[in-house]
């Protein structure tokens, strides 16, 4: 994963709350078996509207998405994160995120910056007024700022922040604790189920 | 101080306690059961291959085919080449990494969250994950079960663990008794409308109280399934005799002395009397009536006896905009009685309501009646075992005689990934879990309902409860 320390770019306002992951990328785009190339699926249904915020010429090239509350609710599809990354986004700002989306973002290097809803409103206002506003997101300081004096601190859990700053691969970190995993396995209760060998046959109890 | 059910299950699975420090290291949790399906796994297996890693515990992993598969023409290859490739990729990956797979045509194939419980693999006090947000279903057994993304799927395949930060705990206590004809689905839809779409965010929830205890295992699965729809990380119900009676004798349930030891341990998992929750919510089951959604998220619902809301009555500007947007998408006018809304399609199925009790409930309402002339009805069992059981009971005949379509097992019209989809502008009453824009097909409009409401709606052609059929 690419490390994230600070990012500066233009922002696009998405004045919608409860943007579920079905909207970020509809199910029909989930049939692919690759991890990249989801740009065409990003907000596919909404993009059909020429007035949709991401279609507007003044927001072209934006890398920071500023959305309403409860962004990324619903389905666990990590494709939503991949589609945003493929669409050029490095940061999503919202007052609340869906739990699984937030976790997925942290694994792939997309920063989810959780701010107070007043900060979202203020960013919307400033970016709509001046779309070329350069917004800086500093993960070290947990701060979002603009040259004309906007400052807001954002929340992100410490562990995700540390991993993003270091660009660490989770699996490597865990595998370094393999002996502790083995010790836990040795102590598991004997009745815990195993999928193998497969047991099947008629189920008589309904 | 006492501990809650969720805290006990959590503590038993900590491989390594996170060290408190600047990095805020989470706990490393052991995963007892990892369920896999074709949509969220191909990139995870590819990641393993690229890193030269293996699957640590194939014997704690189970795969099924569910999201992409058709529910008709099952003797034919999957027509959509992209779907076919994804399903074939799962088959190749499972063969390469030694994972048990229940493929199309296999008696144990079906929706992953229906298959795990029916095989007896979902057990109290275990941790269950799957690359699917409705993994919360398994919490009905007192398991800590939650959905994960593809990177986490890869992590579990490689290590059988997941780093997790300890969530907060919430109790949803439902007292009283559900009125006749009102189901667990109505209860959970009413709950979600009450607490809001993000009300559970950051919490593991325990459903408790008299009304929860009275529910069957399948009804409990319906409740826990929808936990994610109001943002909760997981939803659990303490295991009791209902749980043990359901599990006993299932293919992977413990046997003999192991069964006795397991039951004794499972009983000890109940939340201690002196345990405290970070948040508590109370609901009165006796006040719940048939409940339906009008909007484009599961919290946008009202009692069936109610009307489409007026966006202009909301004090919050963003909320007004959200309601206006939802009504425009749904093509609904404020003040329209919910019962006046005509539907084109009725869908019965999904991991929320695709189990045998759901099908029995639908058959009970629709037996001897006919699906309305301009309405089509799909009945899709959640697994092939459910299909076989329904056919053994003659339910398929009831559905077909009423004019409904009886299909093969799968996710079907719950999401637009397979041929079962709404057309643009079509309106459905659906027993599934999500009414998001385009969820059941591009431009489709979804009203979430219980199986009983779905059946009555199919007969009358507009949103309705079984009580509306009396004399019809």
Q: Judge: A31–B415 Cβ closer than 8 Å, yes or no.
A: no
> Which of A167, A193, A194, A199 should one mutate to test binding to chain B, selecting the residue with the greatest count of B CBs within 10 A?
A193
For the residues of B1-68, what is the DSSP string, one character each? ----HHHHHHHHTEEEPPPPSTT-PPEEEE-SEEEE-TTTSHHHHHHHHHHT---S-GGGEEEE--SS
* Tens of pLDDT, residues B44-91: 999 999 999 999 999 999 999 999 999 999 889 999 999 999 999 999
**Predicted pLDDT of residue B288:** 98
The alpha carbon dihedral of A112, A118, A121, A123 has a sign of negative
**Predicted pLDDT of residue B22:** 61
Contacts A86 to B, Cβ<8 Å: none
Could you tell me the pLDDT band of residue A134, with boundaries at 50, 70 and 90? Answer: very high
Question: Residues of B37-60 as b/e, b for ≥16 C-beta within 10 angstroms?
Answer: bbbbbbbbbbbbeeeebebbbbeb
Could you tell me the pLDDT band of residue A169, with boundaries at 50, 70 and 90? Answer: confident
Q: Judge: A194–B60 Cβ closer than 8 Å, yes or no.
A: yes
> Which of B100, B108, B133 should one mutate to test binding to chain A, selecting the residue with the greatest count of A CBs within 10 A?
B133
**Predicted pLDDT of residue B402:** 98
**Predicted pLDDT of residue B21:** 67
Size of interface A-B (CB pairs under 8 A): 238
pTM equals 0.96
Contacts A51 to B, Cβ<8 Å: none
Could you tell me the pLDDT band of residue A2, with boundaries at 50, 70 and 90? Answer: confident
For B271, the 3-state DSSP assignment is coil
**Predicted pLDDT of residue B267:** 98
**Predicted pLDDT of residue A202:** 57
CB B429 within 8 A of CB B463: yes
The alpha carbon dihedral of B229, B136, B40, B454 has a sign of negative
Tell me what the pLDDT averaged over chain B comes to: 96
Peptide bond into B56 cis (omega under 30): no
Question: How far are the Cα atoms of A6, B226, B244, B454 from residue B219, in angstroms, in the given order?
Answer: 48, 11, 15, 16
Check pLDDT > 90 for residue A206. no
- β-pairing, B27-30 with B14-16? antiparallel
Q: Judge: A76–B133 Cβ closer than 8 Å, yes or no.
A: yes
Q: Judge: A75–B155 Cβ closer than 8 Å, yes or no.
A: no
Bridge partners, residue B207, by sequence: B172
Residue carrying structure tokens 């879990």: B433
Contacts A22 to B, Cβ<8 Å: 415, 434, 436-439
CB atoms within 10 A of CB B312: 9
- β-pairing, B291-293 with B301-303? antiparallel
- Compute and round to an integer the Cα radius of gyration of chain B: 22
Question: Residues of B268-287 as b/e, b for ≥16 C-beta within 10 angstroms?
Answer: ebbbeeebebeeebebebee
Name the residue in chain B with its Cα closest to that of A185: B30
Tell me what the pLDDT averaged over chain A comes to: 94
**Predicted pLDDT of residue B467:** 96
* Tens of pLDDT, residues A91-115: 999 999 999 999 999 999 999 999 9
B431 min Cα distance to partner chain A (Å): 17
**Predicted pLDDT of residue A120:** 98
**Predicted pLDDT of residue A173:** 87
* Tens of pLDDT, residues A137-153: 999 999 999 999 999 99
Which of B419, B236, B279, B26 lies closest to A31 in space, CA to CA?
B419
**Predicted pLDDT of residue B24:** 76
Instruction: Give the pLDDT mean for A43-61.
Output: 96
Angle, to 10 degrees, between the axis of helix A99-108 and the axis of helix B150-159? 70
Share of chain A above pLDDT 70, in %: 97
Contacts B133 to A, Cβ<8 Å: 74-76, 100
CA dist B133 and B439 (Å) reads 15
* Tens of pLDDT, residues B376-391: 999 999 999 999 999 9
Could you tell me the pLDDT band of residue A205, with boundaries at 50, 70 and 90? Answer: very low
CA dist A143 and A6 (Å) reads 10
* Tens of pLDDT, residues B346-360: 999 999 999 999 999
B373 min Cα distance to partner chain A (Å): 30
Name the residue in chain A with its Cα closest to that of B249: A205
Contacts B435 to A, Cβ<8 Å: none
ipTM of this predicted structure: 0.94
Q: Judge: A181–B159 Cβ closer than 8 Å, yes or no.
A: yes
- Vertex B200 angle, CA B434 and B221, to 5°: 55
Is B344 touching A (CB cutoff 8 A)?
A: no
Check pLDDT > 60 for residue B104. yes
> Which of A15, A20, A33, A114 should one mutate to test binding to chain B, selecting the residue with the greatest count of B CBs within 10 A?
A33
A89 min Cα distance to partner chain B (Å): 19
Is B251 touching A (CB cutoff 8 A)?
A: yes
Q: Judge: A171–B53 Cβ closer than 8 Å, yes or no.
A: yes
Instruction: Give the pLDDT mean for B444-451.
Output: 98
B232 min Cα distance to partner chain A (Å): 8
B45 min Cα distance to partner chain A (Å): 10
* Tens of pLDDT, residues B223-259: 999 999 999 999 999 999 999 999 999 999 999 999 9
Could you tell me the pLDDT band of residue A204, with boundaries at 50, 70 and 90? Answer: very low
**Predicted pLDDT of residue B1:** 85
């Amino acid at each position: 994963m690419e490390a994230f320390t600070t990012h500066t770019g233009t922002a696009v306002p998405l004045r919608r709350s409860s943007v579920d992951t079905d909207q970020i990328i509809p199910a029909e785009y989930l049939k692919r078996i690759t991890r990249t190339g989801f740009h065409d699926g990003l907000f596919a249904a909404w993009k059909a509207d020429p007035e949709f915020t991401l279609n507007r010429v003044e927001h072209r090239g934006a890398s920071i998405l500023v959305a309403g509350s409860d962004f990324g609710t619903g389905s666990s599809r990590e494709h939503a994160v991949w589609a945003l990354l493929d669409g050029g986004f490095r940061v999503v700002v919202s007052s609340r995120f869906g739990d699984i989306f937030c976790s997925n973002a942290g694994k792939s290097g997309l920063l989810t910056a959780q701010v107070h809803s007043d900060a979202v409103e203020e960013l919307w206002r400033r970016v709509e007024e001046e779309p070329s506003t350069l917004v800086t997101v500093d993960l070290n300081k947990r701060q979002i700022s603009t040259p004309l004096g906007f400052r807001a601190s954002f929340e992100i859990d410490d562990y995700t922040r540390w991993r993003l700053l270091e660009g660490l691969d989770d699996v490597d970190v865990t595998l370094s604790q393999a002996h502790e995993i083995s010790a836990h396995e040795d102590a598991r209760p004997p009745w815990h189920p195993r999928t193998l060998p497969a047991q099947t046959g008629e189920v008589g109890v309904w | 101080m006492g501990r809650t059910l969720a805290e006990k299950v959590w503590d038993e699975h900590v491989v390594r306690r996170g060290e408190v420090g600047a990095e805020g290291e989470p706990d490393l949790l052991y995963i007892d059961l990892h369920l896999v399906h074709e949509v969220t796994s191909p990139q995870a297996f590819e990641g393993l291959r690229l890193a030269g890693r293996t699957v640590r515990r194939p014997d704690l992993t189970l795969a099924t085919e569910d999201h992409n598969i058709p529910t008709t023409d099952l003797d034919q290859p999957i027509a959509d080449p992209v779907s076919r490739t994804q399903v074939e990729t799962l088959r190749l990956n499972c063969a390469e990494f030694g994972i048990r797979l229940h493929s199309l045509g296999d008696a144990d194939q079906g929706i992953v969250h229906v298959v795990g419980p029916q095989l007896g693999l979902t057990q109290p006090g275990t941790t269950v994950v799957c690359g699917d947000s409705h993994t919360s279903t398994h919490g009905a057994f007192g398991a800590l079960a939650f959905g994960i993304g593809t990177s986490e799927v890869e992590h579990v395949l490689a290590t059988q663990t997941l780093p997790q930060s300890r969530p907060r705990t919430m109790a949803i206590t439902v007292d009283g008794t559900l009125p006749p004809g009102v189901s667990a689905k109505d209860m959970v839809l009413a709950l979600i409308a009450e607490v809001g779409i993000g009300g559970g965010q950051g919490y593991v929830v325990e459903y408790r109280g008299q009304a929860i205890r009275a529910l069957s295992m399948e009804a409990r699965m319906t409740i826990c399934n929808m936990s994610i729809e109001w943002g909760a990380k997981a939803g659990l119900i303490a295991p009791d005799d209902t749980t043990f009676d359901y599990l006993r004798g299932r293919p992977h349930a413990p046997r003999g002395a192991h069964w006795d030891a397991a039951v004794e341990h499972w009983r000890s998992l109940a939340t201690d009397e002196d345990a405290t929750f970070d948040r508590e919510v109370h609901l009165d089951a006796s006040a719940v009536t048939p409940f339906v959604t009008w909007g484009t998220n599961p919290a946008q619902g009202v009692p069936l006896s109610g009307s489409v809301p007026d966006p202009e009555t909301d004090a919050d500007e963003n909320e007004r905009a959200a309601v206006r947007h939802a009504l425009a998408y749904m093509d609904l006018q404020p003040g329209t009685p919910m019962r006046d809304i005509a539907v084109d399609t009725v869908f019965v199925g999904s991991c929320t309501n695709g189990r045998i009790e759901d099908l029995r409930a639908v058959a009970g309402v629709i037996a001897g009646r006919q699906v309305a002339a301009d309405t089509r009805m799909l009945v899709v069992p959640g697994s092939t075992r459910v299909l076989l059981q329904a056919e053994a009971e003659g339910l398929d005949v009831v559905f077909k005689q009423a004019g409904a379509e009886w299909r093969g097992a799968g996710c079907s019209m719950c999401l637009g990934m397979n041929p079962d989809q709404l057309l643009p502008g079509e309106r459905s009453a659906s027993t599934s879990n999500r009414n998001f824009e385009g969820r059941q097909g591009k431009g489709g409009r979804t009203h979430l309902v219980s199986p009983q409401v779905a059946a009555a709606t199919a007969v009358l052609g507009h949103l309705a409860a079984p009580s509306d059929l009396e004399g019809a």
